[in-house]
A = this chain, B = another copy of it.
């Protein structure tokens, strides 16, 4: 069964009432997709106005003039003045402060629109995944596994491996969910390395961080490769497994995110590594979603500890896990 957009909007309206917001202006295409099913072109920006009483109003660029024919309650919106007219009837308006540009904010503010930063509020309902959503994520992961297993890496340039991953995703009829990271040798010591001209050698340690978008839902995994690990490479890969298991054990329904942060910090200390980023993030229509203060049932999050030795090598393992009501989470990316 597909998503029930009406009930998603209703949930948002309940939160809006509690926060005394007359309307909420959504500016993230992924959020618009969540609340309406409308999937905008990736190069175009659209907005959604959710009010307490009426059906949500979709606002698209005048260049997207086909949309108003396919979609009920859609308008073409060109000038900032048009936006002003649309939101004029509403007194207190929540907005996505991370997505709205300073230009639009300044314009609305000057025209006395009462704006309340509401990014977290808009995105909050998206963190707990419905069965349909978990299913899409599983399908994205299935394709990711396929592509991962069919990606040749040795004796090739990092950039060519990254391109090959993208081509494979496109051949599977999906898009990459972000630019694949392909790092080898010393480049693995950086968290996000931009794949370059370096040729991946047979004695290199190699990091692949990749994912795709299936029906809007994203996958995100990281895997390490090492053909003939030397002592140092063996050590870091063995430490990584232990660090990962140490963190995973602390991830349960009801646990606070702060506590997992603490666990990661302690495990890193125990193994003698410096912490360079947090333990993970939620994944759904966006590749990086805030988890919130507490781990809850049916969240889909990543666990991705990374060990980085300055000017040397690094290693990261990233899985997507599904939080269960009781007991340990399901690892969705078991490959």
Chain A residues close to B by CB (< 8 Å): 39-44, 61-66, 95, 97-106, 117, 119, 163, 166-167, 170-171, 173, 178-179, 187, 189-194, 276-277, 308
Contact = CB atoms under 8 A, between A and B. Distances in A.
22 contacts: A40-B194, A41-B179, A42-B179, A43-B179, A63-B192, A63-B277, A64-B190, A64-B191, A65-B190, A66-B187, A98-B101, A98-B103, A99-B101, A102-B105, A102-B117, A103-B117, A103-B119, A105-B105, A163-B171, A167-B167, A167-B170, A170-B170
Contacts of A277: 62-63
B192 A44 contact: yes
Given A102-B97, A103-B117, A276 B43 contact: no
B97 A106 contact: yes
A223 to B, nearest CB: 18
Contacts of A103: 97-98, 117, 119
Contact of A191 (B63, B163, B170, B276): B63
Given A64-B192, A102-B102, 7 more contacts: A43-B178, A65-B191, A66-B189, A66-B193, A103-B119, A163-B173, A166-B170
A95 to B, nearest CB: 7
Contact of A276 (B62, B98, B192): B62
A151 to B, nearest CB: 14
Nearest to A44: B192
A198 B226 CA distance: 45
A65 B311 CA distance: 11
Given A41-B179, A43-B178, A163-B170, A191 B62 contact: yes
A83 to B, nearest CB: 14
Contacts of A119: 103
B117 A106 contact: yes
Q: Name which of A63, A64, A100 has the most chain B CB atoms within 10 A of its CB.
A: A63
A80 to B, nearest CB: 12
Contacts of A189: 66
Contacts of A163: 170-171, 173
Contact of A104 (B43, B102, B187): B102
Contacts of A187: 66
Contacts of A104: 102
Contacts of A63: 191-192, 276-277
